[in-house]
Amino acid sequence: ETGVTQTPRHLVMGMTNKKSLKCEQHLGHNAMYWYKQSAKKPLELMFVYNFKEQTENNSVPSRFSPECPNSSHLFLHLHTLQPEDSALYLCASSQALGVIGGSKETQYFGPGTRLLVL
Amino acid sequence: KQEVTQIPAALSVPEGENLVLNCSFTDSAIYNLQWFRQDPGKGLTSLLLIQSSQREQTSGRLNASLDKSSGRSTLYIAASQPGDSATYLCAVKEGSSNTGKLIFGQGTTLQVKP
């Protein structure tokens, strides 16, 4: 596979469930991102990881728990979500941040996971 | 706080027309600005990236301009085609070169009718 892949593509969960979203990039990048895209709202950054270390948490509620075991994989663990958390969750990757030219590079996005919380 | 606004929210044009999408941002201290395309149910595809020191970038029928001082960018699409139908998102990367944070506008949904 090439690019950035996300699984599952669609997820329906109850408010008491625990689930995880998975992202994998095959681009040799070292920075990975989680974004949330809600209806009628701008796409919103949630977390940034650079060389497996979290460098940005955009005031995300603790019911969202990210995990980055290596530079190619990123997870978003979900528990006790609310209906308003229903959205499209997008993963992206880019060249490492803080290196020469790194921040000039674009971010490559996966297709997203469409989440519905009942 | 940086805010990005895109006008119009939706646009419908006949095939072959040239069109302009607008993006404005409130804080001119940006590192770069990008235009993305998003097809329904899919992720984002980067179209053009303009560094803060640049004025424009071109790729095929697309031309993006940047006026940092006025906080504006435009995406010009020449000879539009039905395949151009999608949502176009503008995003700015703020200040420091060490941050990956992009601030997005809400997008312009374009429909090109055959």
Would the CB atoms of A110 and B105 count as touching at under 8 Å?
A: no
Flag whether residue B42 sits within 8 Å of chain A, measured between CB atoms: yes
Residues of chain B with pLDDT > 90: what percent?
80
Cβ <8 Å between A97 and B98: yes
Residue from the list A4, A6, A103 with its beta carbon closest to the beta carbon of B100: A103
SS3 state of residue A83: helix
More confident residue, A106 or A27: A27
Residue scoring higher pLDDT (B101 or A111): A111
pLDDT surpasses 80 at B100: no
For residue B4, list chain A residues with Cβ-Cβ distance below 8 A.
42
Tens-place pLDDT, residues A29-78: 999 999 999 987 899 999 999 999 998 888 999 999 999 999 999 999 99
B100 to A50: CB separation less than 8 angstroms, yes or no:
yes
